[in-house]
Structure 1
């Protein structure tokens, strides 16, 4: 780079903070983090400069704010990233207004729309022979009732477009719903419609098992659409508070080349570039890994990659700013735990929870043993606890937040309920 690096991150959640920390670890730089409100996750941080943009839901306000930040950093090479699909969507839709000053490391509008639409993603999986849940697509705007004759309740229900769903408001809103009966489903779709969402809603086969059946995969594709790096993780436990439901709260990294090969086939088929993050689940009924969706970015739990020794954002800088070939060894260094196929090859535990709480929800003895060993040998990382962050106000906030996790899980996901799900998936 001929000039200094200035990362800009849109979002105020743990994913945004994790991106700022990843840039700080890699390059020693303070990111500018832009969010709609001051959150405890980014407040009182010494590794970022926080900017509140009240109009974060307005693309024009975001573009104007980014132009203002660019003027304040006229001597810098700027890269802008986001921690949520709808914010990535804003960057993609307005890339032509930003790229005179910013690197915007995302795909174009057509590919973004195609792969982030869960209906389109399902069709692509079917075309390529990649495992995907049995799915019914319901047009919410029609106000009719879905045809669920090919499904058995309970089912999973979620918006086809998470970006469009962001603006919907209704009581009990969640990212993903587990629906027990058809009557419950019809009532949910009415609330979704009345809340302003007019897109498609995906209704899918429910795969038995608890959170430990979930998997996560992140891939990086170069500018020619070739997958160069992958990081697979076994999810241990997800978050269960309504606003964060379904986000991984604990992950152990591991190898799963067959799954990576399927993702590579999909990404290279469509010519994807940059990072793609997949949600999957192991189906105990047939032993397959089922692909649910693609997120067009580094995910909310992106720090699982960096914590394991492969700093993710180095790919942005190496290829997009320095113009170099993103060979994983060249990007990450000769000692990085990456095998010859560009896959993260090392075991590390990522968790946002106290270790005791995480272990409480691991009912499989082998998985519990792996997690305990990594905790005991200090091969575990919480992205929010960083040695450069020592402001006492932030430390106090994090301590209270850790204690509150026990209360939230007891309320939203009792251990007895979790054990029943685990037993059902055995």
Structure 2
């Protein structure tokens, strides 16, 4: 590694419990690369890492003008004082870096990608159109432009269906739906659509039954010619919320067919940089269908490493600093667990009876999202920030139920 070139973790918005950023700090920091990070405050897990040289406290919402965000990044670059590799952890940051790469290259090293491509990939409609144009399987999707379109869809669609926000950034403003929402029938759809206004900002997508599907992930880093320097495949065993949220447990599993499909698609669209792709294998027709194309590192990227010790973050740093990226087979059988969400996910999946046939029975190695012997403070900070709101919520539930019991007794008190 070129230890004279630091790395900067860039995020936009308020999500302090992000294990992907901590993983990137550890991945390069353990190799002696100076690491910096944008954080919400000084008490986030990322800011607590022993491998972090400095935290730049910069609370953002995602509603700022892009020009002010670029100015803020350039000010951070001046504070670091030397060329630095940028690592976005969310779509907003990835789009910002791509669209303003020319200005940011005054201070930073960033992949060479078409400025408009990350925004199009982060959009559900843009991604679906690219899939259709390049023959990549994807769940059938419609994009209602009016209330009448929703009513027409409700009258003819096969339910259940899935509703998602059309643009990746809607969660920062006034999202029509919160995350992936399963809709059982036309009555439920029309009831939900009352709050969408005359121009619904949603997509309505074919539902792939969890009983006949498997969730797969592909992580890769591609060079300026869109050729993969590293590419990994894995299977998602659990997520939170169940079947529709963040990865809670996953394994590296070889899948040459999926690797070839992802490589060809990335090459055709001309993407350069780190990618995190979500696919669902539909056993009904034997096809892998692309659900999400995240033009940045995924939170679970530390699951994936090859025999040479290279993950996607190390690959990007090596490539952008002019180093050779060592090749090697992916370390099949590795497992990734996110401690603060996997317990709940495990209980939910056991109740549902869903299994993942391709998951190994036993892991060759387990990578934890938070806990690391050589860097314990991020785990402790996560616990403090995660447990306190949970305890407060439980206490409020207890107070509410206790008050309800008291009010139900004649006289308002115990008898």
TM bucket normalised to smaller: 0.7 to 0.9
1:233–1:254 CA contact under 8 A, matched in 2: yes
Residue 89 of structure 2 corresponds to residue 83 of structure 1? yes
With over 3 angstroms needed to count, the CA separation of the structure-2 counterparts of 1:288 and 1:32, relative to structure 1, is same
Which of residues 116, 123, 132 in structure 1 aligns to 2:129?
A: 123
* Residue 143 (structure 1) shift: 4.6
The match for 1:230 is: 231
- For the pair 1:240 / 2:241, whether they are aligned, the reply is yes
Q: Mind listing any 5+ residue stretches in structure 1 that lack a counterpart?
A: 330-335, 339-343, 409-426
SS at match of 2:339: coil
Match of 1:412 in 2: none
Following TM superposition, by how much is the alpha carbon of 1:201 offset from its aligned partner in structure 2, in angstroms? 2.1
Q: Is 2:372 the counterpart of 1:386?
A: yes
Q: Tell me if 1:53 matches 2:39.
A: no
Assess, with a 3 A threshold, how the Cα gap between structure 1 residues 320 and 128 changes in structure 2: closer, same or farther.
Answer: same
For 2:207 and 2:7, the matched residues in 1 are separated by 40
The structural deviation recorded for 1:402 is: 8.1
* Structure 1 residue aligned with 2:184: 180
Pick from 56, 62, 70: which aligns with 1:63?
Answer: 70
Structure 1 counterpart of 2:383: 398
Aligned equivalents of 1:226, 1:92: Cα separation in 2: 18
Change (3 A) 1:291 1:388: same
Q: What is the Cα deviation at residue 406 of structure 1?
A: 12
Q: How much does 1:158 deviate? A: 0.9
**Is 2:281 the partner of 1:286?**
no
Change (3 A) 1:245 1:61: farther
State how far apart, in whole Å, the 2-side matches of 1:369 and 1:229 are: 22
Q: For residues 145-160 of structure 1, what are the structure 2 equivalents within 5 Å? A: 145-146=149-150, 147-148=152-153, 151-160=157-166
- 2:28 corresponds to which of 17, 23, 47: 23
Q: How does 1:18-417 map to 2 (within 5 A)?
A: 18-25=23-30, 27-37=31-41, 40-48=44-52, 49-57=54-62, 58=64, 59-74=66-81, 76-105=82-111, 107-139=113-145, 142-146=146-150, 147-148=152-153, 151-163=157-169, 165-169=170-174, 173-193=177-197, 200-209=201-210, 213-240=214-241, 246-306=245-305, 309-322=309-322, 324=323, 326=325, 328-329=326-327, 336=328, 338=329, 344-353=330-339, 360=347, 361=349, 363=353, 370=360, 373-374=362-363, 379-391=365-377, 394-395=379-380, 397-398=382-383, 401=386
How far, CA to CA, are the matches of 2:5 and 2:197 in structure 1? 44
Report which of the two structures shows the higher radius of gyration computed on alpha carbons: 2
Using the TM superposition, give the Cα deviation of residue 82 of structure 1 relative to its aligned residue in structure 2, in angstroms: 1.1
CA deviation profile, 1:247-285 (whole Å, cap 9, x unmatched): 111111111111111112211112111122211112132
User: CA, structure 1 residues 345+29, in 2 after alignment: closer, same or farther (shift >3 Å)?
Assistant: closer
Separation of aligned partners in 2, 1:288 and 1:23: 36
Q: CA 1:401/1:66 → structure 2, altered by over 3 Å: closer, same or farther? A: same
1:345 Cα deviation from its structure 2 partner? 4.8
CA offset at residue 204 of structure 1? Answer: 0.8
Offset of 1:85 from its aligned partner? 0.4
- 8 A Cα contact 2:211 2:354, kept in partner: no
Alpha-carbon spacing, 1:54–1:192, altered in 2? closer, same or farther (3 Å): farther
Taking only aligned residues, the RMSD between alpha carbons, in angstroms, comes to 3.4
Q: CA deviation at 1:108?
A: 2.4
Q: Structure 2: which 5+ residue stretches go unaligned?
A: 394-415
After superposition, the C-alpha distances for 1:160-216 in whole angstroms (9 at most, x for unaligned) are: 2203x133235x85221111222332343443459xxx6752211101116982111
| Aligned-residue offset at 1:321 | 1.4
Q: 1:40 to 1:192 in 2, by over 3 A?
A: farther
Q: Call closer, same or farther: CA 1:270–1:23 in 2, change over 3 Å.
A: same
Q: Distance in 2 between matches of 1:71 and 1:402?
A: 37
SS, match of residue 138 in structure 1: coil
Count of aligned positions? 378
Report the Cα offset of residue 231 of structure 1. Answer: 0.9
Distance in 2 between residues matched to 1:402 and 1:256, nearest whole Å: 38
Q: Which runs of 4+ in 1 moved over 6 A?
A: 402-408
Equivalent residues of 1:307, 1:381 under 8 A apart? no
Q: Secondary structure at the match of 1:42?
A: helix
